[in-house]
Amino acid sequence: MAETKKKMKIVVSLDLGPEVMPLLYNRDDLEIIAWPHASSSGKEWLVKNIAGADGCIIMLFEKIDDEVLDAAGPNLKVVSTMSVGYDHVDLKALAKRGVRLGNTPDVLTESVADSSVMLALMAGRNTKEGTNLVEKGQWPGWSWSPYGLCGPQISPNSPADIRTVGFIGFGRIAQATLARMIGFGYTRCLYVARSKDPARAADIEQTIKARHPTLTTVKRVELDELARESDVVYILAPGGSETYHIVDEKFLKQMKKTAVLVNNARGTLVDSDALAKALKEGWLWGAGLDVVEGEPNITADHPLVKEPRCVMIPHIGSATWESRIGMATMSVNNLFAGLERQPMVSEVQLPK
Amino acid sequence: MAETKKKMKIVVSLDLGPEVMPLLYNRDDLEIIAWPHASSSGKEWLVKNIAGADGCIIMLFEKIDDEVLDAAGPNLKVVSTMSVGYDHVDLKALAKRGVRLGNTPDVLTESVADSSVMLALMAGRNTKEGTNLVEKGQWPGWSWSPYGLCGPQISPNSPADIRTVGFIGFGRIAQATLARMIGFGYTRCLYVARSKDPARAADIEQTIKARHPTLTTVKRVELDELARESDVVYILAPGGSETYHIVDEKFLKQMKKTAVLVNNARGTLVDSDALAKALKEGWLWGAGLDVVEGEPNITADHPLVKEPRCVMIPHIGSATWESRIGMATMSVNNLFAGLERQPMVSEVQLPK
């Protein structure tokens, strides 16, 4: 029997790997145009190839805006991003064309929580100086001393010692990070959230305390109180204009001198210049960054790269096989749901 | 009233810092001979200065043997080491002279547990490569890709995913590390211990399970089973001849290819050549080392320093203000107890 139905065109801006690409290639009803390299294509390639596409799978590096959508034309039904965040996507531009957007939360919750705690520990414990000393062959000439490379202790040293963890954003990843901090002896949890509804805060407090009976405090607070009270501040909120530079000079000046700041969300939430100044002048102890404003154009002479107590990794907070294969698989399933006008595993609500 | 009593001579091989040195200097009955620099004195200075001493406070770097004890002479009542471990002290040589030995456990339990978990996370998540890439200014030229710098996930990604933590040595620090791993979703705990007493193992199982109800398994096993089953292996046992190269080629060959090894105990427990070979050939995923055989004489061309998945810090596992001030204070209190023939806060049992 001859195939009469026209194949749907799918543009994929990144190689989803040997476990996941077959999910696409095994479907006879799809024509797959895939960027063949390990890195993702960038916007230019996408614009060149997207004409007439029914759907596309993209990453953070492909900004989806009117230009891309105009190039795609009216067939486009779904954009599926292999990421949790979607500040690279113009939601209004999608909404006005009726194009749906899928993202890939949940499967990276645990991996990002792991790397968040790792960054907090590294920032507190002078790990950048310690590893560099060993790697540069300076260990033989380094004199161990009782207080050499000492840092503040992330965990309390006795039950009388109370530690507070603060979260900017209190979604799934923040709550998974909190679960880890319980084992480090944290008993107080503060958070800043978009919702100011007291009933919602009471509900969250009850749920979290039931889950973690050793917590004495679970409280939604204003930014100032979070800055003043927290021993570790985790930034785990979405990017975009609403959270732009939420951690600024004012916030950093209020932090404890022994506290550490972790940004595992988006670079735009932290004012990099203010953070570099804060670290240089000792307003806080250290910082652990998976993301930074202007990445990946961060050179060796960037003020944060030069700070000895600023640990930086290149946006690999979710880089585990488990998470990335999970995200890639979910991005394919979201695409399929979009093509077939079915509910997605995870769909972003677009503005009306 | 004239002071007639001869002062006791105390030799201190390291500067215990502004919080702790006054505990010594404020006592009129003591003559303090203290090494004035931040690093510790080493054995040679100690031998030169210890003649006639009643007590001394030392660190890992001052090997206490017949030579030192002969130089001290018969007045010596107490050696107080600012460390938990005491493989730098010849216990038999102390015992035959009736000199007591104090050490400083407990106050570094939490800081070492913190750094143990940090090293496990760093070893699993390609953090050495990630931080070096940023620090060398290679981020702009590095192409992000779905599986770039991916590692195995330390934590399980779903409840169906079972993770096992293995401990070589199951004392206070191991148990504090276990408490942290619970928050990362670990449900199985295996350990290797010196005691082969089944009643003791049953007792430990009951105690630990009562403390952590989510654990399904707490089991003393042989080394082979620990190597085969563990996703993270923590070495937290004393040094010395009994544990020399307990992690050797045979052990490493049995490990999971996705597992990580952490040594936060003493370098002698791990065969460095075997570990370098194992990492190069992929028998395990990565290693995190605070200690290494032959430290501090570890140069940049050491095979482990060159391994991209071997994270190394220069014996700073307990380097927090809380721990180190606590250790220094305890070393002084142990010294006082030794001089006054009182019970110490922590005294090492000497062989009969």
Instruction: Tell me: pLDDT of A4 over 90.
Output: no
Do B48 and B115 have their domain in common?
no
| B150 neighbourhood in chain A, CB within 8 Å | 316, 319-321, 324
Name which of A81, A157, A289, A298 to mutate to probe chain B: the one with the most chain B Cβ atoms within 10 A of its Cβ. A157
In a domain, A351, yes or no: no
Separation of alpha carbons B223 and B193, rounded Å: 9
B326 shares a domain with B220: no
List the Cα angle B85/A140/A311 in 5-degree steps: 85
A3 located within any domain = no
pLDDT of A40 strictly over 60: yes
User: For residue B345, is pLDDT > 60?
Assistant: yes
In A, residues 62-101, which contact B (CB 8 Å cutoff)? 82
Asked if A16 and A141 sit in the same domain, the reply is no
Considering the domain boundaries, does residue A254 fall inside one?
A: yes
Asked whether residue A39 carries a pLDDT value surpassing 90, the answer given is: no
Instruction: Determine the pLDDT at residue A2.
Output: 53
> Would you tell me how many other CB atoms lie within 10 Å of the CB of residue A299?
13
**Whose CA is closest to B180, among A28, A186, A319?**
A186
A301 and A169, same domain (yes or no): yes
> A207-237, pLDDT tens digit by residue?
999 999 999 999 999 999 999 999 999 999 9
In a domain, B349, yes or no: no
Between residues 138 and 167 of chain B, which touch chain A (CB distance below 8 Å)? Answer: 139-140, 142-157, 161
Q: Which of B161, B183, B327 lies nearest to residue A182, judging by beta carbons?
A: B183
Share in percent of chain A as helix, strand, coil (round to 5):
35, 15, 45
Mean pLDDT computed over A298-317: 97
Cβ contacts of B180 on chain A, cutoff 8 Å: 180, 183-184
- Quick one: A262 and A325 in the same domain? no
A68 and A44 within one domain? yes
Question: Which ipTM did the prediction report?
Answer: 0.92
State the smallest CA–CA distance between residue A198 and chain B in angstroms: 28
Buried b (16+ CB within 10 A) or exposed e, A7-24: ebbbbbbbbbbeebbebb
My answer on whether B331 and B259 are in the same domain is no
Domain count, chain A: 2
Residue B4 is predicted with a pLDDT of 65
pLDDT at B39: 83
pLDDT tens-digit profile of B219-258? Answer: 999 999 999 999 999 999 999 899 999 999 999 999 999 9
Query: Domain of A73: which CATH number?
Result: 3.40.50.720
Does residue A291 sit within a domain?
yes
Residues A94 and A52 in one domain: yes
Q: What is the pLDDT of residues A43-57, one digit of tens each?
A: 999 999 999 999 999
Contacts A–B by Cβ distance under 8 A: 278
Residue pLDDT, tens place only, A156-169: 998 889 999 999 99
Chosen from A19, A126, A132, A153 to mutate, greatest number of chain B CBs within 10 A: A153
Tens of pLDDT, residue by residue over B37-92, are 888 899 999 999 999 999 999 998 899 999 999 999 999 999 999 998 999 999 99
Answer with the residue of higher pLDDT: A257 or B2. Answer: A257
Domain limits at B331? 8-106+321-339
Tell me what pLDDT residue A38 has: 80
Residues 256-275 of A with CB under 8 A from B: none
Look over chain A and give the mean of its residue pLDDT values, rounded to a whole number.
96
3-state DSSP call for residue A10? strand
Q: Which of A272, A320, A332 to mutate to test the interface with B (most CBs of B within 10 A)?
A: A320
**Residue A250 vs residue B37, higher pLDDT:** A250
- Quick one: closest CA in B to A175, which residue? B183
Query: What pLDDT is recorded for position B143?
Result: 83
Residue B280 burial (C-beta neighbours within 10 Å; 0-12, 13-18, 19+): middle
Mean local confidence (pLDDT), A69-81: 98
- For the record, the structure tokens of B115 come out as 């750094």
Helix, strand and coil in chain B, % to nearest 5: 35, 15, 45
Shared-domain flag, residues B52 and B142: no
The answer to whether the CB atoms of A137 and B314 lie below 8 A apart is: no
Q: Is there a domain that residue B83 lies in?
A: yes
pLDDT tens digit sequence for B145-160: 889 999 999 999 988 8
Q: Is residue B279 part of a domain?
A: yes
**What is the pLDDT at residue A5?**
78
Supply the pLDDT for residue A145. 86
Give A144's pLDDT tier (boundaries 50, 70, 90). Answer: confident
**Res. B2 pLDDT band, cuts 50 70 90:** low
Measured between CB atoms, does B110 come within 8 Å of chain A? yes
Say what the pLDDT of residue B137 is. 97
DSSP B263: E
> Could you tell me if residue B93 is inside a domain?
yes
- CB-based contact A319 B150, cutoff 8 Å: yes
One domain for residues A163 and A234: yes
Give, in degrees to the nearest 5, the angle at Cα B262 between B314 and A305: 50
Q: Is the pLDDT of residue A3 over 70?
A: no
Asked if A159 and A237 sit in the same domain, the reply is yes
Do B251 and B153 fall within a single domain?
yes
